[in-house]
Amino acid sequence: MVDIKKTIMQRNIEIGNWVVLAVFSTVSFLFMSGGFAIGVLLGGLISVVNFRWLSRDLRIVFLKHADRAKPFIIVKYYIRLIFMGIVLFFVIARMPVDVLGLLLGLSVVVISIILMVIGANFKNPLRRFRKNNASLFIFR
């Protein structure tokens, strides 16, 4: 069995997730209410765990279940969705969290991915022109 290694970009996104979560949590604990800060922290933890769980599921499907990848991914997707829904229900219903803080925390992975893409394009802005069919426009 071949081990699938993480790419540099995936590792950077995972590290970026923790950095963005730490920055958002620190700023919210310093300048916002306790409920907002707890919401940011819990939402960020939920989104980072969900991202790691997805990464692990995809690695497993491509290593062990390549012949039946589609049904396996669909089943795992619904299991993850139901589990995250239950966790979010208990966080909102049982804990003193602000919903806006929770939403900000849940968007940690998306913000981290956007920052990584922007950073990669600032490092090498002309990388698209090295290919033969490159153009200024992303969409044709």
> Which CA distances in Å does 106 have to 4, 81, 130?
27, 14, 36
Q: Cα–Cα distance between 91 and 87 in angstroms, integer?
A: 6
Q: Which residue has the higher pLDDT, 56 or 22?
A: 22
Q: Cα–Cα distance between 63 and 112 in angstroms, integer?
A: 27
pLDDT at 1 over 50: no
Q: Of the ranges 54-58, 64-68, 70-74, 111-115, which one carries the lowest mean pLDDT score?
A: 64-68
Mean pLDDT, residues 84-93 taken together: 89
Residue that has been written with the tokens 């409920």 in this structure: 35
pLDDT at 68 over 60: yes
pLDDT digits (tens, 9 = 90+) for 16-47: 899 999 999 999 999 988 889 999 999 999 99
What DSSP state is assigned to residue 133? T
User: What pTM value is reported for the model?
Assistant: 0.76
